[in-house]
Structure 1
């Protein structure tokens, strides 16, 4: 049996990081139902401390997800709130496949808050390693 999965990224500010990655990948942030959240809080089924306002909407403070709007069957990426900052190298990372435009794409990402790490090559394969605004490594290939 095959299983569905999502990729989960620890984040200090999941909403900001989700918005950054949604723009980076051309994906969308999953919509949130502010009225539903407010109703749960008003009925005591959730605490106001479980929420925050992000870009004018009431959201759950502990996470935000992004999805590919053209391929709903693809895995979603969930950014979840954690208290600690990133301290060591990722053991798993994303490769963003952009083809021959990798230098221009990397430069645009750096202008938006990514940090350049290094260029890499293995055989005919080339990539540029960057980190997102919270220090998570990824490659532009």
Structure 2
């Protein structure tokens, strides 16, 4: 039996990091249903402390998700989950974002202008990549 999965990234600011990654990947931030959130509060299943405002919308404070424009059939969902502690060590898992050899430098320039940091330039035979960190220090390779 094969299982579906989503990738979860721990963060201190789920909505800002979801925006950053959606822009980095050309994906879309999943909208959150304000009416449903208000209904959960009215029914006592949540409180106002469980929510925040992001880009003018009422959203769940604990997380935000992004997905490929072609949907979950194309790529798994990425969830950004609120955690209290900051990132302190190197990731043991990271994403390789394939942009094509001619686009690596321009993509890295665009992402560093938006808060990423270059960590490493790698090469293996004819293949090369640049490892960067997102604004919270999570590593990804642009290849």
2:130 matched residue in structure 1: 128
**Residue ranges of structure 1 left out of the alignment (5+ in a row):** none
* Structure 1 residue runs of 4 or more that deviate by more than 3 Å after TM superposition: none
1:63 matched residue in structure 2: 63
Q: CA deviation at 1:51?
A: 0.7
SS in 1 for 2:79: strand
2:25 matched residue in structure 1: 25
2:97 matched residue in structure 1: 96
What TM-score results when the alignment is normalised by the length of structure 1?
A: 0.97
What TM-score results when the alignment is normalised by the length of structure 2?
A: 0.95
Q: What pairs with 1:1-141 in structure 2 (closer than 5 Å)?
A: 1-73=1-73, 74-100=75-101, 101-141=103-143
The superposition leaves residues 85-111 of structure 1 with CA deviations (integer Å, 9 ceiling, x where unpaired) of: 000000000011011210111111101
CA root-mean-square deviation: 0.9
Q: 2-side partners of 1:65 and 1:96: how far apart?
A: 18
SS in 1 for 2:105: helix
